[in-house]
Amino acid sequence: MEGKILKILVVNAGSSSLKYQLIDMENESVLAKGNCEQIGTESTFTHKVPSDETKNIKALPMEMQDHAAALKIVLDTLVDAEHGVIGSVKEIDAVGHRVLHGGEKFSGSVLVDDKVEEAIKECFDLGPLHNPANLTGIKACQKIMPGVPQVAVFDTGFHQTMPDYAYMYALPYEYYEKYGIRRYGFHGTSHRFVSKKCIELLGNPEHSKIVTCHLGNGSSISAVVDGKCFDTTMGVTPLEGIMMGTRCGSIDPAIVPIIMKKENLTPDEMDTVMNKKSGMLGLCGTSDNRTIESRAKEGDKRAKLIESMLCHQLTKYIGGYAAAMGGLDAIVFTGGIGENNPQYRDRVCDKLKFMGVEINYEINDKLKRGPEGEISTPNSKVKVYVICTNEELMIARDTKEIVEAL
């Protein structure tokens, strides 16, 4: 494609939502961002302009029958005289889409064409909640913005470099052949963004061994060797791994049929229990980390249990990945909890002192709600960083690179 790609719309379409950011790639700044929620029912629209709060729209009820209608509202707002940031939709050079599951088909981001759309469809079974919505978002953009290049950026793509002994499960091999049952991993765009930044902070060494901890309502940990994923905690779905806001994480598989029999649950109902009623929510009635932190300080036993469980699991995975990689150069904390909870970082790093991890507690306490940087001491054998993830920017960068190469 001739000329520079200057403005990119990043779209994350959920089953009943559409999140967006318009990014100016000249300086990688966010011109506007927002969310269409409850599409098809009692829809609301939120729009924020970081450089001018007077242009913001807060949870405005609007009629949105489908994702195409939601996207039209987004585009109309972006060019609106009162709330807009661009003069014409034609200023948008390309659209980057977050797509949850690419299976084994995609190890990187790709320009969307008929074959790519068909491949996304073929992964519906692996990502039944997200992939259909992601494809709906792509179709909506094609309808409203014909001729504008669309790029798919897969959550699973970064993890496709895992060796087979890391991604295979000890189940009958035919299930892998017939149904693609294997570890895929998620949050790949985030793990790629922060590991790349970490390598830069390390001075761009030829070889590096890093553990990246993406901790939020959904959480995953990845082992990254020389910039490539070696192993990760999430599996076929984003349910496996450490405990999360509403997801149980890894449990004894035999628990599933036991609970189903005792509670007379269907497979779908059991799936809902593990994905939406477990984790922090299941243990103490809330998935909000700030509430849990506050309750733990007041002596709430279950809130304190959650903090101890999470730190224990984090320590196990970091230590295990360090052993599997044969060493560790750096640990990265990112995501809503990873970036904003110094206490978890403190407790986990204290448990890793045997590996030579040493942090500056004063600096660690200051890094929350925005700032990022190194929290390890000069004497620490392992560097420890707090790095703010930016999945939307990573999607925009991929989109720019692919479209400019056309």
Query: For residue 362, how many other CB atoms are within 10 A of its CB?
Result: 8
> Architecture of 7-154 per CATH?
2-Layer Sandwich (3.30)
Q: What tens digit of pLDDT does each residue of 189-211 get? A: 999 999 999 999 999 999 999 99
CATH 3.30.420.40 domain residues, the chain: 7-154, 203-391
Task: Name the pLDDT band for 2 (thresholds 50, 70, 90).
Answer: low
pLDDT at position 370 over 90: no
Instruction: Determine which one of 155, 231, 329, 398 is catalytic.
Output: 155
Report the distance separating Cα 277 and Cα 285, nearest Å.
9
The rounded radius of gyration (Å) of the Cα atoms in the chain is 22
pLDDT mean over 215-237: 97
pLDDT at position 1 over 70: no
Structural contact between residues 355 and 328, judged by C-beta atoms closer than 8 angstroms: yes
Strands 383-386 and 330-334: parallel
CA neighbor of 71 nearest in space, from 138, 135, 3: 138
Which residues, 6 or more positions from 396, have their beta carbon under 8 angstroms from its beta carbon? 8, 10, 21, 23, 25, 28, 96
Chain centroid to Cα 69, Å, comes to 26
Residue 128 pLDDT: 86
Tally the C-alpha atoms within 13 A of residue 342's C-alpha that lie toward its C-beta: 18
Report the distance separating Cα 332 and Cα 340, nearest Å.
13
Residue 344 pLDDT: 97
Structural contact between residues 279 and 247, judged by C-beta atoms closer than 8 angstroms: yes
pLDDT greater at residue 2 or residue 119: 119
Q: What tens digit of pLDDT does each residue of 340-350 get? A: 999 999 999 99
> At which residue do the structure tokens 């996207």 appear?
71
Q: What tens digit of pLDDT does each residue of 273-290 get? A: 999 999 999 999 999 999
Judged by phi (left if over 0) then psi (alpha if -120 to 50, else beta), residue 40 lies in left
Looking at residue 344, its amino acid is: Y
Q: Which two tokens stand for residue 280?
A: 């922090």
Task: Name the pLDDT band for 3 (thresholds 50, 70, 90).
Answer: low
> Architecture of 203-391 per CATH?
2-Layer Sandwich (3.30)
Q: What is the DSSP letter of 268?
A: H
Please tell me whether the overall predicted TM-score, pTM, comes out greater than 0.85 for this model.
yes
pLDDT mean over 70-95: 96
- Would you give the end-to-end CA distance of the chain in angstroms? 5
Q: What tens digit of pLDDT does each residue of 13-55 get? A: 988 899 999 999 999 999 999 999 999 999 999 999 999 999 9
Long-range CB contacts for residues 269-275, cutoff 8 Å, separation at least 24: 274/239, 274/247, 274/248, 275/239, 275/246, 275/247
Q: Which two tokens stand for residue 98?
A: 């977050």
pLDDT mean over 90-97: 97
| Burial degree of 96 (CB within 10 A; 0-12, 13-18, 19+) | buried
Q: What tens digit of pLDDT does each residue of 255-274 get? A: 999 999 999 999 999 999 99
pLDDT mean over 141-151: 95
Active site residue 155: yes
pLDDT at position 231 over 80: yes
- Residues 129-141 as b or e (16 or more Cβ within 10 Å = b): ebbbbbbbbbbbb
